[in-house]
C-alpha cells in the first residue's frame, strides 16, 4: 500500500494547489497568513492562498477558516481549505471541505479534482475513480482531470486503464513503453 501511494504523495501538494486555482506569481509566495489583513473574505482567502503557495498549511488553514466564516457560500474557499487540510494529512476533514464546495457548486472542477486526489491519497482509489469518471468523460475535460483519473486508476490497482488513459501524455515508442511501465509499478 505504501509503495503505491509514495508517487502520489510526492506530487499531491503541487497537484492540489494547481487544482485549487493557484498559479505561481498570483500571490506573494511565502507571505504569512497571520500577518495579512483580514478585513474581507477575499483578503483572508488571498492570505490562505499565499500561505499555501509558501508551503505553510497551518497558517493557510487559519486564514481559510476565517474566510469560510465570513463567506460560507464560496466553494473556492472551501476547496482551498481542503488543500490546506490535505497538506497536513487530515484527509477526512479535507474531503468534507471538498464535498461542501461541491454542495455549493456541483460544477466546481477544482473541488472535484481535489476530492479525487484526496481520496486517492487516503487509499480510496475506487471512490476517487467514481468521482472523476463523469467529469473526465465530458468534452471539456482537461488534461489535469485525465491525469488525476489515471492516478486514481493506478491507486485502485487498474494500471491497464491508467496507462490507456495516459497514452497520449506518455508518448509513443520506447519512451511511452517505459512511462507506462513506471505507471504500472506505481500501482502495485
Measured between alpha carbons, how far is 171 from 179 in angstroms, rounded to an integer? 8
CB-facing half-sphere around the CA of 56: CA atoms within 13 A: 19
Output the nine-digit C-alpha cell for 134: 463523469
The C-alpha cell that represents 4 in the structure block: 503505491
Given a contact cutoff of 8 angstroms between Cβ atoms, the answer to whether 127 and 152 are in contact is no
Choice between 180 and 168, residue whose per-residue pLDDT is larger: 168
Predicted structure pTM score: 0.69
* Residue pair 128/159 in contact by the 8 Å Cβ criterion: no
pLDDT digits (tens, 9 = 90+) for 45-101: 999 999 999 999 999 999 999 999 999 999 999 999 999 999 999 999 999 999 999
Q: Is 171 helix (H, G, I), strand (E, B) or coil?
A: coil
The CATH number of 2-186 is which of 1.10.3720.10, 3.30.70.100, 1.25.40.10, 1.10.1200.10? 1.25.40.10
What's the chain's Rg over C-alpha atoms? 17
Domain ranges for the chain, please list them: 2-186
Amino acid at each position: 500500500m505504501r509503495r503505491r501511494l509514495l508517487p502520489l504523495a510526492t506530487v499531491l501538494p503541487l497537484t492540489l494547489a494547481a487544482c485549487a486555482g493557484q498559479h505561481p506569481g498570483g500571490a506573494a509566495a511565502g507571505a504569512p497568513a497571520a500577518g495579512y489583513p483580514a478585513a474581507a473574505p477575499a483578503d483572508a482567502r488571498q492570505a490562505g492562498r499565499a500561505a499555501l503557495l509558501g508551503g505553510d498549511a497551518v497558517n493557510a488553514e487559519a486564514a481559510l477558516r476565517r474566510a469560510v466564516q465570513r463567506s460560507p457560500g464560496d466553494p473556492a474557499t472551501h476547496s482551498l481549505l481542503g488543500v490546506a487540510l490535505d497538506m497536513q494529512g487530515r484527509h477526512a476533514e479535507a474531503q468534507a471541505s471538498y464535498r461542501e464546495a461541491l454542495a455549493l457548486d456541483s460544477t466546481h472542477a477544482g473541488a472535484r479534482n481535489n476530492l479525487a486526489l484526496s481520496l486517492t491519497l487516503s487509499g480510496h482509489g475506487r471512490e476517487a475513480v467514481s468521482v472523476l469518471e463523469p467529469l473526465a468523460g465530458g468534452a471539456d475535460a482537461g488534461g489535469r482531470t485525465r491525469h488525476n483519473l489515471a492516478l486514481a486508476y493506478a491507486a485502485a490497482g487498474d494500471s491497464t486503464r491508467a496507462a490507456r488513459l495516459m497514452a497520449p501524455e506518455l508518448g509513443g515508442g520506447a519512451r511511452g513503453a517505459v512511462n507506462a511501465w513506471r505507471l504500472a509499478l506505481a500501482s502495485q
